[in-house]
């Protein structure tokens, strides 16, 4: 009830009165300042405004241009900003650390675990996109959000929409039987492998947008022992930083 009231129109009006009164008091006292105190106030205000401007600029300024090849869309050209770099890093980590992106050979692992992991990747990707501010679109090109939504709608959604209910119905009808006895086991594994292969360009793309070194090798596990730990994303030079 309290939360509902806080979101109500009257709460916003009351908050407006309080903020307005506080601003009025601050302006009144500021108008009475003279000498050194007046200069201190003006300097602090100018510094605050400059900090806000620099922060907004650094979030949206283009850091670099990246080209990503996704078979379904050919070459995509991205203008990377600091915000899009952070979103890409989150998506890369989510994708590369899940069993759903690892090969599931015949007789290895469980399809149910792989499908559950894929559902988790779908849900987490949506949450990352919802919690992040949309990347600023530059020159009409795609953004990291476009790449993520394409991965969801072109690859994950069709696969899960088909196989999750089919496997669920078989599991309900054969609760005591091993998954290996499912007549469609081999077909589902084959389509899973094909879909995972199509996912790789998206995951590599997230890594490239995030500035991750050796992203493809991290995904397929071919890095040497000296690179066993996940590297932090490479930070592009900040054009707002002093030389």
Q: What is the CATH number of the domain that holds 142?
A: 1.20.120
Q: What is the pLDDT of residue 119?
A: 94
The Cα 62–Cα 84 span in angstroms is 10
> Is 232 domain-assigned?
no
Shared domain for 184 and 157, answered yes or no, is yes
Q: What is the pLDDT of residue 115?
A: 94
Shared domain for 79 and 101, answered yes or no, is yes
- pTM for the whole structure: 0.66
Shared domain for 68 and 41, answered yes or no, is no
Shared domain for 152 and 33, answered yes or no, is no
Shared domain for 209 and 123, answered yes or no, is yes
Shared domain for 37 and 98, answered yes or no, is no
> Is 186 domain-assigned?
yes
Shared domain for 81 and 194, answered yes or no, is yes
- Could you give the angle at the alpha carbon of 100 between the alpha carbons of 97 and 103, nearest 5°? 100
> Is 164 domain-assigned?
yes
Shared domain for 112 and 211, answered yes or no, is yes
The Cα 124–Cα 106 span in angstroms is 28
Shared domain for 87 and 198, answered yes or no, is yes
Shared domain for 48 and 98, answered yes or no, is no
Shared domain for 144 and 24, answered yes or no, is no
Shared domain for 12 and 84, answered yes or no, is no
Q: What is the pLDDT of residue 107?
A: 72
Q: What is the pLDDT of residue 37?
A: 57
Helix runs in the chain, H state only: 2-6, 9-31, 35-60, 82-96, 111-131, 144-150, 157-173, 185-210, 215-220
Mean pLDDT by 10 residues, the chain (243 residues): 53 72 68 59 51 39 69 77 91 89 78 94 95 73 90 96 96 93 94 94 93 87 57 47 45
> Is 233 domain-assigned?
no
How many domains, in total, are found in the chain?
Answer: 2
Q: What is the pLDDT of residue 98?
A: 87
DSSP helix/strand/coil, 54 = helix
The Cα 132–Cα 130 span in angstroms is 6
Give residue 36's domain range: 2-60
The Cα 87–Cα 145 span in angstroms is 8
Q: What is the pLDDT of residue 36?
A: 59
For 66, what's the count of Cα atoms within 13 Å in the CB-facing half-sphere? 27
């Amino acid at each position: 009830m309290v939360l509902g009231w806080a979101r109500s129109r009257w709460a916003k009006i009351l908050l407006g009165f309080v903020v307005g009164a506080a601003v009025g008091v601050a302006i009144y006292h500021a108008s009475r300042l003279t000498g050194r105190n007046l200069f201190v106030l003006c300097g602090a205000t100018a510094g605050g405004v400059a900090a806000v401007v620099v922060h907004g600029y650094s979030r949206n300024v283009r850091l670099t241009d990246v080209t990503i090849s996704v078979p379904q869309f050919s070459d995509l050209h991205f203008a990377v900003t600091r915000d899009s770099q952070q979103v890409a890093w989150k998506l890369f980590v989510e994708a590369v650390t899940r069993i759903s992106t690892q090969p599931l050979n015949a007789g290895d692992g469980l399809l149910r675990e792989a499908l559950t992991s894929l559902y988790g990747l779908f849900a987490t990707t949506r949450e990352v996109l919802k919690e992040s501010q949309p990347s600023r679109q530059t020159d009409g090109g795609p953004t990291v959000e476009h790449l993520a939504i394409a991965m969801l709608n072109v690859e994950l959604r069709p696969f899960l929409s088909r196989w999750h209910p089919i496997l669920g119905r078989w599991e309900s009808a054969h609760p005591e039987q091993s998954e290996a006895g499912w007549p469609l086991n081999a077909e589902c594994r084959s389509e899973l492998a094909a879909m995972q292969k199509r996912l790789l360009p998206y995951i590599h793309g997230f890594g490239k947008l995030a500035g991750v070194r050796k992203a493809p090798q991290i995904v397929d596990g071919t890095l040497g022992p000296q690179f066993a730990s996940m590297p932090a994303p490479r930070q592009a030079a900040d054009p707002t930083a002093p030389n």
